[in-house]
Structure formats: C-alpha cells, structure tokens
Amino acid sequence: MKSRLRTFLVLLLMLLTALQAAAAAKSSKPNFIVILSDDQSWVGTSQRMIPGNPETASDYFRTPNIERLAAQGMVFSSGYSPAPFCCPTRRSLQVAQTPARHEYQADREGWPAVYRQQLNIPRMLKAADSRYRTAHFGKWDHRYDNVSPADQGYDASDGLTGNATGSGRDAGDDLLHADPKRVVSVTDRACAFLEEQAREARPFFLQVSHYAVHLAIQHSAAAMERTKPLTPGKKHNLATFAAMTDDLDAGIGRLMEKVRALGLHENTYVFFLSDNGGRSSLPGSKDLGLGLNHPLRGAKANMYEGGIRVPFIVLGPGVKPGSVSNVPVTGLDFLPTMAELAGYQPALPATIDGGSLTSVLRNADVGEVKRQRPYLIFHQAYDRNAQSALRWGDFKLVKTWKTGRLELFDLAKDLSEATDLSAKMPEKTKELDQALTAFLTQVKATTVQTKIGKDE
C-alpha cells in the first residue's frame, strides 16, 4: 500500500512539474531577432515587395531564404529605413529616434553623452524582464564617438566594428575566399548565441548586422556556381554582386534553420530590413536603361524612395504567413513593438519617434501604428547634403535645404516620384512643409551642411 502511494505521489509530482513547465513556457517572454542587411535595395531580392508586380523584385538575383521569410510572415511594401546612410540608421534602430534628434543634432558635440544614457532595446528588454540576454554580431558602425555595444547594454558582441571589418583584408586573402563579407563567421556566432539561450531557457534579443551587400564585392565559389545558370536582367546584371547576395541569403537561411532546430520559432519574432536603399551604380554593372533601384527614384544618400524604402519583413507569433501590408512602417518602430510584446510597463519616453507594429502584425492593412505624430520624418545634414522628407498618408514631401526646393509626390499613384505636385497642390505642400519645419525646430536639428562626410 505504501509502495502504491509512493508511486502515486511521484507520478503526481511529475505531472505538476510538467504542468508548471508548460505554463512557464506558455507565459515566457518572446524572443526577438533583427537581421540587418547593408545597402540592399528595395528590389535587391527575388521577393516581390508588391505582390503581382515583378518590377518590385530583382530581375537577376535569387534569394530563396528571404522569400521563405516572406512566406512565413508579413511583407511591408512601404517599409523604410530610418535614414539613407548606414551609421544614422544603426544608431536610430537602437533608440527608436529619427537621426534629426542625434546624428544631425545642432549640438552634435554634446549629444553622444545623452545617447549613451537613453532607453534602447537592451535596456528596455532587461527592464521588462531581467532574464533577457542581448547580443549584436556583425557591423556596429557607430563611428566617431566610440560608443560600443557593451556601452549600450549588450551582453555579447563583436565590438566596435565597421565597414573595414567586413572587408576581411585585415585577416589576409584566405578569409576573402573562406568567409567573404564574414557571412559565415557572423552567422556562426549568432547560432552559438541561440544555442546558449535555448540551453538556459532565457528570452533574448539578437541583432545580426551583415556586411553584405556593401562594397567591396566578395563572394564564395559556391555562390558563384549557383549564380552561373541565371540569366542577367536589364536592371541587375553583375554576376559577382548576385553571388554576394546569394551568400547573404544563405547566411540568413542557416540562421533560420537554427531557430527551427532549437524549437525557438514558435516564440520568436524576426525582423528583416536593410540599413538604407541600394546604390545608384556598381563597378562593372551594365546600364541597360533601367536604374539599379527601378522602379524607385534615387538611391542611397538621398531622400527619394530609392534611398530609404527597403525590403522589410516580419514574422512571428500571430503574424499571418504570406501576408502583406501597405501601412508605412520604419525601423524606428522596432523598440516600441518589442516593448509592447515583452510587457514593458513604463511609458516610453516622449523622444521616441516610432510606434508599435503589433496591431498591424495581427491585422495587416486594418491595423494602425500609433506614433506621437501622424507622419514619418527623414532628415540629414551636418556632414551630408542637407535634405529632408516627410511622408504623411500617401503624400510625400522632399525638401532640399540649400536651394529651398520643395517637391510633393502622391506615392499611391506615383511610386517612381516622377510627377512633382507642389505647383498644383500648394496648400498640401505648405501643410507638409510646416509640419516638417516645426518638428526639426523642436528637436533642434541642424539644416545646413558644414562638413563633408565619408562614403558609407
């Protein structure tokens, strides 16, 4: 009798333990992964950014793993990087603030001290749950003030990395062949981090910032072999760049395979985007009448759609596979989204310019991103050509500060920004210009270029 009772109690204890574990797993905090590509055009993948429109994908590059991301989640046809350059976007992603508040602040010398103390993704998640572990691997690129990932609260990182790190030349020619653009080694470290968090059952944030497809062009022999059978297009025709894109895609695929193998996919949100739009030219590429970012106007470094509209995909719990949203979104929305999903309780600072994507992720075009302002602001100056853009609904204003030129476009009817409506719609132009000017004045952004910046 005692033996049976003992057995019953053991079984009951095992059942209770299992139920507790199941409950804990069900109530555990979500994981987050941000995959950031470098200089990848809105049309730099084989995934159509607008379904049914073949012009909104590459006519040459093949990215099956990025297509798989889209099939598993939501494609944002109007997804934007915070800036048309590397460094300001990378800073902005961390703190959900437009570069007008920091990189192009009138008091640029004074703001780094403030930046080091601001709420960012690692600090926010650790405040939501102290068990969160955070990591950044790949290109950090915060430039001149030496703010490191460790300074910003990351538990693991590659340190103060930049474009030169991704060249591989500091490690000799062997690396160029074995690990071009460091796709393999960056992915290795990211996968090892995932294994550690799965083993310890800890929630995590992981940012994987690839050096590809930034110049200089590097690629593996295997990627070139996969590229050879493809037919070059009128828009994209450079085989070496296609192979580099293939290597990037393979790294993304390997990371996602690890997520699935570890059983993390059911509780992990993945965000994919580029740090800015694609370049206007590539060494060795043939100009066959279509720009590299066609059908978009412009490219990296300016405020037309080619400079700031980027591939943008999100997948995770509650996100309908294969869904598409036309709602304008930006990388500034990542921190507020994670804050809501992770259960961060305090009110976000008034200096946060992004809003939570949660409603849109669950309802596509029916959802709404609630930000402090009903428009998206883009701005650069100081060591860049002083230019701004404001998107409010379907209308977009582009302002060039040196000449005072204002251009107005209706993106719903004119994706290529071919028709300037400012003369026909002076009141709408004035409304957007006043909103833009008021915001930049409020945040004390500079609107002049005083130095010459380096290519990013």
- Whether residue 287 is contained in a domain is answered as yes
Burial 104-136 (b: 16+ CB within 10 A, else e): bbbebeebbeebeebbbbbbbbbebeeebbbbb
The confidence band for 109, taking pLDDT boundaries of 50, 70 and 90, is: confident
Q: Is the pLDDT of residue 448 over 90?
A: yes
Same domain? 184 vs 82: yes
Cβ pair 57, 45 in contact under 8 A: yes
On the question of pLDDT at 369 being above 60, the answer is yes
Which pLDDT does position 25 carry in this prediction?
Answer: 44
**Domain-located, residue 217:** yes
Residues 358 and 415 in one domain: no
Closest to 176 in 3D by CA, of 207, 212, 208 = 212
Q: Has residue 213 been placed in a domain?
A: yes
102 within domain boundaries: yes
CATH at 86: 3.40.720.10
Helix (H, G, I), strand (E, B) or coil at 182: helix
Say whether both 275 and 391 belong to one domain. Answer: no
Confidence (pLDDT) at 355: 98
The region of weakest confidence among 99-113, 167-181, 327-341 is 167-181
Query: What is the percentage of the chain residues whose pLDDT exceeds 70?
Result: 91
- Regarding whether 232 and 177 lie in a shared domain, the answer is yes
In a domain, 449, yes or no: no
The per-residue pLDDT for 2 is 54
- pLDDT for position 27: 45
Supply the CATH number for residue 428's domain: 3.30.1120.10
**What confidence score (pLDDT) does residue 112 get?**
85
Could you tell me the pLDDT band of residue 16, with boundaries at 50, 70 and 90?
A: very low
pLDDT range class, residue 455, cuts 50, 70, 90: low
Say yes or no: 179 and 213 in one domain.
Answer: yes
The average pLDDT across 27-33 equals 89
Model confidence at 380: pLDDT above 90: yes
One domain, residues 94 and 152 = yes
345 and 230 co-located in one domain: yes
Residue 52, domain member (yes or no): yes
Rounded CA gap, 46 and 268, in Å? 24
Per-residue pLDDT band for 136 (boundaries 50, 70, 90) equals: very high
- What's the pLDDT at 108? 85
Count of helix runs (H) and strand runs (E) in the chain? 14, 14
- Give residue 398's pLDDT band: very low, low, confident or very high (50, 70, 90): very high
> What is the residue range of 438's domain?
377-442
Would you put residue 350 in left (φ > 0), alpha (ψ -120 to 50) or beta?
alpha
More confident residue, 83 or 19: 83
pLDDT of residue 19: 41
Q: Alpha-carbon distance 218 to 240, whole Å?
A: 7
With contact defined as beta carbons under 8 Å apart, do 92 and 332 qualify?
yes
Domain-embedded: residue 184: yes
CA angle (102, 371, 443) in 5-degree steps: 30
Domain closes at, from 324, 348, 372:
372
The residue from 357, 372, 387 where one domain ends is 372
Judge whether 214 and 166 are in contact, CB under 8 Å. Answer: yes
Tell me which H or E stretch contains 387: strand 387-392
Q: What does the alpha-carbon distance between residue 305 and residue 397 come to, in Å, rounded to a whole number?
A: 11
Higher pLDDT: 50 or 2? It is: 50
Say how many domains are in the chain.
2
Given pLDDT bands bounded at 50, 70 and 90, which one contains residue 156?
very high
Taking the C-alpha atoms of residue 104 and residue 112, their distance in angstroms, rounded to an integer, is 11
**Residue 11: pLDDT above 90?**
no
> Are 153 and 161 spatial neighbours (Cβ–Cβ below 8 Å)?
no
pLDDT of 66 reads 98
* Domain termination site, one of 353, 372, 391: 372
At residue 88's C-alpha, the angle toward residues 85 and 92, to 5°, is 130
Residue 254 to residue 235: CA distance in whole angstroms: 28
Instruction: Please determine, for residue 48, whether its predicted confidence score (pLDDT) is greater than 50.
Output: yes
pLDDT-based confidence at 176, cuts 50/70/90?
Answer: low
Q: How far is CA 92 from CA 66, 167, 179, 240, 426, in A?
A: 24, 24, 29, 31, 32
Q: Is the dihedral of CA 225, 191, 82, 383 positive or negative?
A: negative
pLDDT at 262: 98
Q: Please give the average per-residue pLDDT across 287-304, as a whole number.
A: 96
Lay out the sheet containing 405-410: strands in order across. 376-380, 387-392, 395-400, 405-410
Q: How open is the CA angle 414-420-422, to the nearest 5 degrees?
A: 125
Asked if residue 6 has pLDDT above 90, the reply is no
Nearest CA to 276 out of 91, 73, 22 is that of 91
Specify whether 314 is located in the same domain as 399: no
> Span 293-314, mean pLDDT?
98
Q: What is the pLDDT of residue 51?
A: 94
Q: So what's the pLDDT on residue 456?
A: 66
Which H or E run contains 330? strand 329-330
Tens of pLDDT along 412-431? 999 999 999 999 999 999 99
Q: Which of 100, 187, 145 is nearest to 436 (CA)?
A: 100
Task: Report yes or no on 18 lying in a domain.
Answer: no
Statement to judge: residues 296 and 426 lie in one domain: no
Least confident interval from 29-43, 61-75, 172-186? 172-186
- The three-state secondary structure class of 100 is helix
Quick one: pLDDT at residue 23? 38
Across the chain, mean pLDDT equals 93
- By mean pLDDT, which of 10-24, 66-80, 129-143, 381-395 is the weakest? 10-24
* Residue 147: pLDDT band with limits 50, 70, 90: very high
Q: Are residues 405 and 301 in the same domain?
A: no
Distant-in-sequence, close-in-space partners of 178: CB < 8 Å, separation ≥ 6: 184
Q: Among 18-22, 266-270, 381-385, name the one with the lowest average pLDDT.
A: 18-22
Same-domain pairing of 404 and 264: no
Reported as a pLDDT band with limits 50, 70 and 90, residue 217 is very high
Q: Residues 20-40: what's their mean pLDDT?
A: 76
340 and 431 co-located in one domain = no
